[in-house]
Amino acid sequence: MRILLLVIMLVGNLVAVPFVNTIHPTVLGMPFFLFWVLIWMIITPLLTWWIYAMDKAEKR
What average pLDDT does the segment 53-60 reach? 91
Tens digits of residue pLDDT in 5-35: 999 999 999 999 889 888 889 999 999 999 9
| Number of domains into which the chain is organized | 1
Domain of residue 54, residue span: 2-59
pLDDT in the model for residue 45:
96
The predicted-structure confidence for 40-50, as pLDDT tens digits, reads as follows 999 999 999 99
Q: What is the reported pTM?
A: 0.79
pLDDT at 53 over 90: yes
Residue 60 pLDDT greater than 90, yes or no: no
CB-count exposure of residue 11 (10 Å: 0-12, 13-18, 19+): exposed
Whether the CB-CB separation of 19 and 50 falls below 8 Å is answered with no
Orientation of helix 2-10 relative to helix 32-59, angle to 10°: 160
**Nearest alpha-carbon partner for 32 in 42, 17, 10:** 17
